[in-house]
Homo-oligomer: A and B are copies of this chain.
């Protein structure tokens, strides 16, 4: 999709500078002025190194302090909060401790009649120099071009966040999605992510429009602030990132369903928020009054949203599927290095492919991650599994802490902050109300259909955990050209600081205040009677419950499960029932080609690995535990192998699903991913 904010050449292009034709300047002529230019370039290179070193030092300090905190079990401050604090400190030093201006790069004006060219040749006393277009500068700000050199050096192109730092974070989120609990709560997660984000965006947008109107009345507003800007702010700030909360949940082994709801919501909600903000930016009504409501433009925006979202989803899913097929049909798993490299390249190519097609790379990468975890992961060798997990874990860790320390830095080094107290207070109230208006009504509606009700304490916790993080920051910094966007950026920064420090720090007290169970072994189900869990308890007899369950789990989901289990899994991985049994007989040849011989042998083994994909470094990742669990906790990973009953049984997925559903009191065997449904046993 065409994003007006993506005007500047993004970072990818910066890596692709043209070497051809422009090297003449590098001749080792001995003219004094060239040596001067050389010295300048060298000096600039040195400053770049120093500024990158600054960030590395920041990260190193953060790592060491995190270790100290973990070592002493300090929980009130998460690593991201810490990274921000160090960033702040360095920001203050850079702002007030370095000389204010260098004045070396004096701008030169020269008049030209046409529209600007991207390349400019300038004749300087007979020599030709090439210049490239950087951007327009509003006449009032020409003097701003001369600014503190060091501050400029530590200021990154916003596209760095979108093209370099976010993809590994988002991919990791998708790749480490705890499948079982995610699918168990899929409906609610989708509702929170799509409906919730939209509701939150519109409520915040409208409230902020009221605030802006008020500011105009009071005379606090010095430039334009349109309704679309307010909506954009709503979209930006609706991207929640409860990384701190989840880290603490993880450490304390808090309730797994709550975890799944929060994690799933925040992962998908990032994707929704990006696409939503793109759609709002794409809302450009035609005609004179460019900021009034226009139905055509509105529907175009909705179309853009749907188009980008589904397109990005498809891109991600397709590359994931291709990777799964490649890893299935080659014996690449004998060479883990090759396999890991291929996995990395394919995942990265999703991003590029989506960007090349005009979709959103970050969203594509998310769905690619989910697909890779669901299918490709099963085909990888054991070594590659840990390699890919660890690789993306490290990348995710570095990128995330980098963004947070950059946020701290940006509070002081960003040169165009506009802090408006009214707007900031309004924004805090708006996000509070927006979150409330999104969590409580939606939870009420969901509870009507949910068997596993979302309890009040869970709802309060979800309300409380609506932290803002990396994604909101990246969306806000993407376009800081206008007055309104600058104000939005400054406010977003403050909101992120507040939520990460105050809300993040209050998670542990909040958990105990809300009486939410901690220390839950994820392999075990909630104990039969528990205060916060009473709503979850079923009460009918076993068979009745099972029937109800089957009605509850929507036909769409059942259809998907059956399709995935019978066709996708067997085609894309070495698990699932042999295709020869699930496909109609006239597809015999294809079925035999696509079914790998391992299917017959490896079913049991793969079932286990497959049925619960997780990253098992419980310490820093947002996941926990690494054992296969069934809903009623009766079967561990190695006990569920009672019926190794040959190749023919359970060819119909209905049957497999039934067995899963009926797994309340006996051990189960299922093929492929076991989507275990919540069944409590009162007995």
A64 to B335, CA, bound (A): 11
Assess whether B123 is in contact with A112, with CB atoms less than 8 Å apart. Answer: yes
Assess whether B6 is in contact with A41, with CB atoms less than 8 Å apart. Answer: yes
Contact of A24 among B15, B352, B481 (CB under 8 A): B481
Assess whether A109 is in contact with B123, with CB atoms less than 8 Å apart. Answer: yes
A124 CB-CB contact with B under 8 Å = yes
Given A16-B153, A28-B482, A349-B57, residue A134 in contact with residue B22 (CB < 8 A)? yes
Assess whether B123 is in contact with A111, with CB atoms less than 8 Å apart. Answer: yes
A33 CB-CB contact with B under 8 Å = yes
A356 to B57, CA, bound (A): 14
Assess whether B122 is in contact with A110, with CB atoms less than 8 Å apart. Answer: yes
- Cβ contacts under 8 Å, A502 to chain B: none
A563 CB-CB contact with B under 8 Å = no
Contact of A117 among B46, B108, B119, B349 (CB under 8 A): B108
Assess whether B135 is in contact with A345, with CB atoms less than 8 Å apart. Answer: no
Assess whether B28 is in contact with A4, with CB atoms less than 8 Å apart. Answer: yes
**Most chain B beta-carbon contacts within 10 A, residue among A28, A109, A145, A619:** A28
Assess whether B135 is in contact with A45, with CB atoms less than 8 Å apart. Answer: no
Assess whether B48 is in contact with A16, with CB atoms less than 8 Å apart. Answer: yes
A125 CB-CB contact with B under 8 Å = yes
Segment touching B, from A66-74, A243-251, A519-527: A66-74
Q: Which of A132-166 contact B (CB under 8 A)?
A: 132-139, 141-142, 144-145, 147, 151-158, 160, 164
Assess whether B145 is in contact with A16, with CB atoms less than 8 Å apart. Answer: no
Q: Residue-by-residue, is A395-406 near B (CB-CB < 8 Å gives 1, otherwise 0)? A: 001100000000
Assess whether B356 is in contact with A49, with CB atoms less than 8 Å apart. Answer: yes
A385 to B127, CA, bound (A): 55
A77 CB-CB contact with B under 8 Å = no
Q: For the side of the interface on A, what is the size category? A: 35 or more
Nearest opposing residue in chain B for A619, CB measure: B335
Assess whether B135 is in contact with A133, with CB atoms less than 8 Å apart. Answer: no
A118 to B44, CA, bound (A): 11
Assess whether B120 is in contact with A19, with CB atoms less than 8 Å apart. Answer: no
A42 CB-CB contact with B under 8 Å = yes
Contact of A67 among B23, B331, B387, B617 (CB under 8 A): B331
- Cβ contacts under 8 Å, A164 to chain B: 15
Assess whether A59 is in contact with B345, with CB atoms less than 8 Å apart. Answer: yes
Given A17-B156, A335-B619, residue A394 in contact with residue B124 (CB < 8 A)? no
Assess whether B398 is in contact with A341, with CB atoms less than 8 Å apart. Answer: yes
- Cβ contacts under 8 Å, A552 to chain B: none
A299 CB-CB contact with B under 8 Å = no
A126 to B109, CA, bound (A): 12
A3 to B45, CA, bound (A): 11
**Most chain B beta-carbon contacts within 10 A, residue among A38, A147, A281:** A38
- Cβ contacts under 8 Å, A126 to chain B: 139
Assess whether A6 is in contact with B45, with CB atoms less than 8 Å apart. Answer: yes
Assess whether B137 is in contact with A130, with CB atoms less than 8 Å apart. Answer: yes
Q: Residue-by-residue, is A1-22 near B (CB-CB < 8 Å gives 1, otherwise 0)? A: 0111111111111111111111
Given A20-B152, A108-B112, residue A356 in contact with residue B50 (CB < 8 A)? yes
**Most chain B beta-carbon contacts within 10 A, residue among A4, A57, A326, A391:** A4
**Most chain B beta-carbon contacts within 10 A, residue among A4, A19, A334:** A19
A420 CB-CB contact with B under 8 Å = no
Nearest opposing residue in chain B for A10, CB measure: B45
- Cβ contacts under 8 Å, A121 to chain B: 107-110, 137, 142, 145
Q: Which of A21-43 contact B (CB under 8 A)?
A: 21-28, 30, 33, 35-42
Assess whether A123 is in contact with B145, with CB atoms less than 8 Å apart. Answer: no
Given A7-B41, A42-B2, A353-B53, residue A21 in contact with residue B141 (CB < 8 A)? yes
Assess whether B27 is in contact with A482, with CB atoms less than 8 Å apart. Answer: yes
**Most chain B beta-carbon contacts within 10 A, residue among A14, A113, A154:** A14
A419 CB-CB contact with B under 8 Å = no
Assess whether A20 is in contact with B620, with CB atoms less than 8 Å apart. Answer: no
20 A-B pairs with C-beta separation under 8 A = A4-B26, A7-B25, A7-B38, A16-B156, A21-B147, A22-B137, A24-B136, A27-B136, A59-B341, A59-B345, A60-B345, A105-B117, A108-B121, A109-B122, A113-B124, A119-B145, A129-B136, A130-B137, A131-B133, A344-B394
A390 CB-CB contact with B under 8 Å = yes
**Chain B min CB distance to A437 (Å):** 29
Assess whether A39 is in contact with B2, with CB atoms less than 8 Å apart. Answer: yes
Assess whether B290 is in contact with A30, with CB atoms less than 8 Å apart. Answer: yes
A358 CB-CB contact with B under 8 Å = yes
Assess whether B620 is in contact with A284, with CB atoms less than 8 Å apart. Answer: no
A33 to B123, CA, bound (A): 26
- Cβ contacts under 8 Å, A142 to chain B: 121, 128
Q: Which of A322-344 contact B (CB under 8 A)?
A: 326, 330-332, 334-338, 340-342, 344
A476 to B128, CA, bound (A): 25
Given A19-B155, A108-B120, residue A135 in contact with residue B337 (CB < 8 A)? no
A457 CB-CB contact with B under 8 Å = no
Assess whether B25 is in contact with A136, with CB atoms less than 8 Å apart. Answer: yes
- Cβ contacts under 8 Å, A57 to chain B: 349
Contact of A113 among B36, B125, B129, B136 (CB under 8 A): B125
**Chain B min CB distance to A2 (Å):** 6
A428 CB-CB contact with B under 8 Å = no
- Cβ contacts under 8 Å, A124 to chain B: 112-116
Assess whether B330 is in contact with A137, with CB atoms less than 8 Å apart. Answer: no
Given A13-B45, A33-B115, A42-B2, residue A416 in contact with residue B20 (CB < 8 A)? yes
A76 CB-CB contact with B under 8 Å = no
A96 to B154, CA, bound (A): 42
